Amino acid sequence: MYKVISREAIAPDTFDIWLEHPNIHKRAKPGQFLILRLDEFSERIPLTIVSTAEGRLRVIIKTIGKSTYKLCAVKPGETIADIVGPLGNPSEIDRFGTVCVIGGGVGIAPLFPIAKALKEAGNRVIGILGAAKKELLIMKDEFLPHLDELYITTDDGSEGIKGTVTVALQKVLKKEKVEVIWAIGPMVMMKFVSLMAAENNTLCWVSLNPIMVDGTGMCGACRAEVGEEVKFTCVHGPEFDGRKVKWDELIKRQYQYREEEKRAMEDYLK
Ligand code: FES
């Protein structure tokens, strides 16, 4: 059992949660994730590790269905039944030169340790953070010390550039040569960033977040076609070259249980 240390709402339906864990901080690297289960009846939820400290780890969660809703309702002092991790392969951090990190919505949270590590490795780091509107933009102040330049985009123009992150990316790519791009956010966002990266012949890492069950490469639930191969996101990823991902199939499967999820949420709230 793992104790909840703190839980803070940082945007509508979005919670910043610190949990006690004796040793994940010794092994976790940027890009890796955990699978959490609130209790023995709950679904497993994959979540990227945002930060760690001695005996603690931090996750940021948006409520999108029954399981995340239940998880976000935990209170300090309560416990979580299982935490498995760190899972997956760490991000390939190196000194590349100029890099661009792009986060959309709650995808800004898993991008944070990557941006921080890229800056520490000596890169010039350009950040693009996007949200539907100003109130949903998270972690801007935390990112600032780790970025050389920051672009904000909002769909409704309530902060920064009006439009999607690709509008800002286009500006960046016109202005300077970017060696590597990281993009984390909704699949559709990652798809369009990857297409732009492909046009510019720039490596573009994306962190895939398909439905996961066991997280150990056994069930096949998290499969994704990358190039000509079928990869399991939990063990071969979660980061892949977005230019090679077969996005349309992956996006279709992401939404296949949407109706069931909606019903489960409605039943839970009754
Ligand atoms: Fe089962 Fe990846 S979650 S193979």
> pLDDT above 70 covers what percent of the chain?
94
Cα 236 to averaged position of ligand 1 atoms, centre (Å): 10
110 pocket-lining for ligand 1 (C-beta < 6 Å):
no
CA–CA separation, 241 and 202 (whole Å): 10
CA–CA separation, 54 and 71 (whole Å): 23
Each residue of 133-162: pLDDT tens digit? Answer: 999 999 999 999 999 999 999 999 999 999
DSSP 125-146: EEEEEEESSGGG---HHHHGGG
Both tokens of 96, joined, read 């590349």
Which ligand 1 atom lies nearest to the CA of residue 213?
3
**What angle separates helix 247-254 from helix 187-199, to the nearest 10 degrees?**
170
- Res. 34: pLDDT tops 80: yes
Quote the pLDDT of residue 42: 81
CA–CA separation, 181 and 100 (whole Å): 5
Quote the pLDDT of residue 256: 58
Query: Strand 56-62 relative to strand 14-20: parallel, antiparallel, unpaired?
Result: antiparallel
- To test ligand 1's pocket by mutation, which of 44, 47, 218 has the most ligand atoms within 8 angstroms of CB? 218
CA–CA separation, 27 and 49 (whole Å): 11
Quote the pLDDT of residue 264: 59
Domains in the chain with CATH codes: 2-86 (2.40.30.10), 98-254 (3.40.50.80)
Both tokens of 205, joined, read 């890492």
- Under a CB-based contact definition with an 8 Å cutoff, are residues 164 and 153 in contact? yes
ipTM: 0.97
20-24, 31-35, 36-40, 49-53: the lowest-pLDDT one: 36-40
Which ligand 1 atom lies nearest to the CA of residue 221?
1
Instruction: Name the more confident of 72 and 94.
Output: 94
Separation of CA 59 from chain center: 10
Q: Is 162 left (phi over 0), alpha (psi -120 to 50) or beta?
A: beta
Tell me, what amino acid is at 150?
L
Quote the pLDDT of residue 263: 57
pLDDT band at 215 (very low <50, low <70, confident <90, very high): confident
- Res. 61: pLDDT tops 70: yes
Cα 223 to averaged position of ligand 1 atoms, centre (Å): 7
Residue 145, φ and ψ in degrees, nearest 5: -65, -15
For the segment 97-104, the average pLDDT, to the nearest whole number, is: 97
CA–CA separation, 171 and 20 (whole Å): 42
SS3 180: strand
186 pocket-lining for ligand 1 (C-beta < 6 Å):
no
Quote the pLDDT of residue 19: 95
Cα 110 to averaged position of ligand 1 atoms, centre (Å): 20
For the segment 73-101, the average pLDDT, to the nearest whole number, is: 93
Quote the pLDDT of residue 267: 61
Alpha helices in 152-257 (DSSP H): 165-175, 187-199, 233-236, 247-254
Distances (CA, A) of 233 to 162, 214, 236: 33, 11, 5
Tell me, what amino acid is at 26?
K
> pLDDT above 90 covers what percent of the chain?
71
